[in-house]
Amino acid sequence: MLRRLARAALPLLLCTALLFLSACSPGGKEAQEPVTAGFECDIAVQYQEMDVKGHLTRRTAGSLLLEITEPSTLNGLSIEWDGEGITMKIHGLAFDIDPSALPESALGQGLLSALDAAVGQREERTQTQEGLATSGSITQGEFTLVSDPETGSLLSLSIPAMGLTAEFSNFTLTGTALG
């Protein structure tokens, strides 16, 4: 008799436990942090009066490689920030540039600064129709970085004071450790 009662009560207890546990868990999944390092993607930038397209690679914080494909006059130009200096390459020629020689408003410097600043900006994140928006302030002005809330993949960047908007596509993780 006790066994039969235990068999009948066990499913009821399990169902009650499941209901209790689901009632205590948060209703929604927390948004994924934006991926700000260890990725590569295509990028389309509107910067002041210029449209620039290319490929962006970011291994760690402080580093950035921008390989320009459009406009055709800049096709083949690559600019790499390694955290200490800047190297520009075009048509087999390479030369180093002192970062202080570039204005803070330069296209690549704005991208680099915004990605570096977005790390750990948890309190400045809001869910929008476009995605998870991370806002902050850099030397170049206020920025908003929008990412996919499920994957963390970057979708867009806006730095209004620079006249810069960027759209990210074909976003892939490179497996490089975040730095």
107 has pLDDT over 70: yes
- CA dist 78 and 70 (Å) reads 12
Number of C-beta neighbours around residue 120 at 10 A: 11
95 has pLDDT over 50: yes
Q: Position 157: which residue type?
A: L
Q: Position 18: which residue type?
A: L
1 has pLDDT over 60: no
Q: pLDDT by residue (tens digit) across 21-60?
A: 333 334 446 768 899 999 999 999 999 999 999 999 999 9
Q: Model pTM greater than 0.75?
A: yes
Question: Does residue 38 sit in helix, strand or coil?
Answer: coil
Handedness of CA 63, 97, 117, 49 (dihedral sign): negative
166: its two tokens: 């960027």
Pick 11 or 161 by higher pLDDT.
161
Domains of the chain from N-terminus onward = 39-173 (2.50.20.10)
152 Cα distance to chain centroid:
7
Alpha-helix residue ranges (DSSP H) falling in 35-150? 107-118
> Which DSSP symbol is given to 45?
E
What pLDDT score was predicted for residue 108?
85
CA distances (Å), 24 to each of 10, 27, 161, 171, in order?
21, 9, 45, 35
